[in-house]
Amino acid sequence: MDVKSVGVIGAGQMGNGIAHVLALAEYDVLLNDVSQDALDSAVATIEGNLARQASKGKISDEMMQATLSRINTTLELPQLGQTDLVIEAATEREAIKQAIFEDLQPHLLPHTILTSNTSSISITRLASRTDRPERFMGFHFMNPVPVMQLVELIRGIATDEETFKSCKAVVDRLGKTAASAEDFPAFIVNRILMPMINEAVYTLYEGVGSVQSIDQSMRLGANHPMGPLELADFIGLDTCLAIMNVLHDGLADTKYRPCPLLTKYVEAGWLGRKTERGFYDYRGETPVPTR
């Protein structure tokens, strides 16, 4: 199927990035959220990011204006049922995602493909709650979406080949690279990345190193562009904990047990950059380690 219009559910960091790259690739985008403030903030963020791209000569001013004109917003979820492809990018909680798909289902066109940007939740299980498991798959963008080149495409057990090809064509048109992943907990990237971050937290928890020494060691000793604790703050410690819990529950292996210190930070509401405190305190001019 030739996808022409895309509905994006959720106007947060991931949702606005997805809307940005889709509109830039000349798709008509309908962005949905339960909050008008979130929608307004998303459009402002997209405009700012496009302006930055234009200032660097990556796109023209005409392309920027054309891209913005392709993005419409709505508080009404049923309106997204008229699009060819829906990408759900809501909170990483399965009950919320299931409720969204159940509410949207009566309004879908027969050919509409449903996808989720989930970073870890079972695609097969999400698909089974809809009327079109064969036209449902995982469409996992990396953060920040306009910058990162990879998209994980995850087939559920019922996903058909036509759906995969249609989604792969969208990724190709975005100028990104698709990695085909099987539907196992956390897929490829987070299956490898999150245990590394969790081990870094254990290294801090056990006093092997400080926040600064752990991040410095991985930047300079392993040539990582960002230390694992700094990266955890960027991703969001609540998201890291949620993915570790999915891995631990889904694979029943103690090596995926979330570090108690990670749980403590989340319980304190220190979730990283978005709350201005995590493994670093971001309230001053420069980030300061909190341990």
Q: Percentage of the chain surpassing pLDDT 70?
A: 100
pLDDT of residue 209: 97
Known binder of ligand: residue 97?
A: yes
For residue 30, the cross-strand partners are 7, 72
pLDDT of 100 higher than 90: yes
Q: Tens digit of pLDDT for each residue in 192-232? A: 999 999 999 999 999 999 999 999 999 999 999 999 999 99
Per DSSP (E only), the strands in the chain are 5-9, 28-32, 71-74, 85-88, 113-116, 136-141, 150-155, 177-182, 280-281, 288-289
Known binder of ligand: residue 143?
A: yes
Q: Tens digit of pLDDT for each residue in 138-173? A: 999 999 999 999 999 999 999 999 999 999 999 999
pLDDT of residue 120: 87
Known binder of ligand: residue 15?
A: yes
Mutual angle of helices 211-221 and 228-235, in 10-degree steps: 110
Known binder of ligand: residue 13?
A: yes
Q: In the predicted model, what is the mean pLDDT of residues 99-120?
A: 96
Q: In the predicted model, what is the mean pLDDT of residues 49-66?
A: 95
pLDDT of 258 higher than 90: yes
> Looking at residue 107, what DSSP letter applies?
G
pLDDT of residue 1: 80
Q: pTM, whole model, 2 decimals?
A: 0.90
Q: Which domains does the chain have, with CATH numbers?
A: 5-182 (3.40.50.720), 191-289 (1.10.1040.10)
| Model confidence band, residue 240 (pLDDT cutoffs 50, 70, 90) | very high
Q: Torsion angle, CA of 178/85/134/108, rounded to 10 degrees?
A: 170
Q: In the predicted model, what is the mean pLDDT of residues 39-53?
A: 97
Catalytic residues: 119, 140, 152, 190
